[in-house]
Chain A
Amino acid sequence: MGKHEIAAVGDAASVLVFRAAGVETVFAENPAEAERAVRALAAEGCRVIFVTERLLEQLPDLAAHYRRTAYPAVIPIPGRDGPTGYGAGKIAENMEKAIGTSLLQ
């Protein structure tokens, strides 16, 4: 297991605060960089990887890839400019997948 168990990936302005909380931060300005960073962190044994919504919503394959196993958990977080609705959309999506309709609206 690597030394970092929690990481945050995103643009510098958004994830810099995570560093203050003792979280490994990797700066990524575009989806390709973010994907590389997430894969590298996962390979190192990182358990929880927070990725800014703006980047993660452009990487549906990446999100789907890490869905099946308990770890790593790739979790969308809002970026500096507030939530884009991707995280909330994901909840509704899960709901629909599980129950067949979205009950919580």
Chain B
Amino acid sequence: MARVNPTRMELTRMKKRLSTAARGHKLLKDKQDEMARRFLYYIRRNRALRQEVEALLSGAMSAAALAGAEMGEDALAEALFLPAAAVPAQFSTENLMNLEVPSITLEGRQAGAGLPYGPAFSSEHLDRAVLGMETLMPKLLELAQCEKICDMLADEMERTRRRVNALEYVMIPDLKKTIKSITMKLEDNERGNLTRLMKVKDMMVQAARAEIGG
């Protein structure tokens, strides 16, 4: 508990701080609730997407491995040597609970972008891997966005929880204690004053009586 002068001015100041702290606590608590709601939505999505992507990606990769075995590693590397058309994605950010989170949108479908190599020397497994990747790409980008949002939200929620706890268990009780001690001290002074006044009055009355009587 902070040591402060037990004065009325200090008391008013402390009361003001307490009401600010209480309001801040309530706001942070609301923020926490809302973040938890959104976080649950994104984490569920994240999990579903990850499971889906993991299954599909393993499929594409093993198809590519089969292709490599069939065509030879060199021929495979050669077939994929020329990069395909870049993924037409737009990267921007949006504001989520005051966090700058990524927002990735795919522009148009690259439907039938086709294979980036000639079919003559390549294996059918490779075709499957490549086409699989093409359908997988939107999901991969969505996963990236979702997972990043989850990362950022989780960090922010941890920070908010610390703040809420600091307010709830340290700052607010401390202020309440200080206010109480100042009030007690002031009341004590007041009582001291009162008895002193009564005593003085008694003495004055007695002095006056003695003067009249004598």
Interface stretch of the complex, out of B129-137, B167-175, B186-194, B200-208: B129-137
B150 to chain A, nearest CB (A): 5
How many residues on the A side are at the interface (Cβ–Cβ under 8 A)? 44
How many residues on the B side are at the interface (Cβ–Cβ under 8 A)? 62
Interface stretch of the complex, out of B3-11, B21-29, B44-52: B44-52
Cβ contact within 8 Å between B147 and A68:
no
**Do A21 and B130 form a contact, CB below 8 Å, given A77-B57, A94-B151, A99-B39?**
yes
**A-B CB pair tally, cutoff 8 Å:** 147
Cβ contact within 8 Å between A21 and B54:
no
Cβ contact within 8 Å between A73 and B144:
yes
A5 to chain B, nearest CB (A): 6
**Do A98 and B76 form a contact, CB below 8 Å, given A48-B104, A48-B141, A87-B54?**
no
B93 adjacent to chain A (CB < 8 Å): yes
Interface stretch of the complex, out of A10-18, A29-37, A54-62: A10-18
A62 to chain B, nearest CB (A): 13
The majority secondary structure among interface residues of chain A is mixed
Residues of B within 8 A of A83 (CB): 54, 58
CB contacts under 8 Å to A, within B48-81, are 50, 53-54, 57-58, 60-65, 68, 76-77, 80
A-B contact pairs, 18 of them (CB 8 A): A6-B86, A13-B61, A13-B64, A16-B64, A16-B76, A17-B133, A20-B133, A23-B137, A47-B102, A47-B104, A67-B155, A70-B93, A73-B145, A75-B140, A77-B53, A78-B57, A90-B147, A91-B150
Interface positions of A (Cβ within 8 A of B): 3-6, 12-14, 16-24, 47-48, 50, 67-71, 73, 75, 77-80, 82-83, 87-88, 90-91, 94-95, 97-100, 103-104
Nearest 10 Cβ contacts at the A-B interface: A21-B133, A20-B130, A94-B154, A22-B84, A98-B154, A73-B148, A98-B157, A70-B102, A97-B154, A17-B64
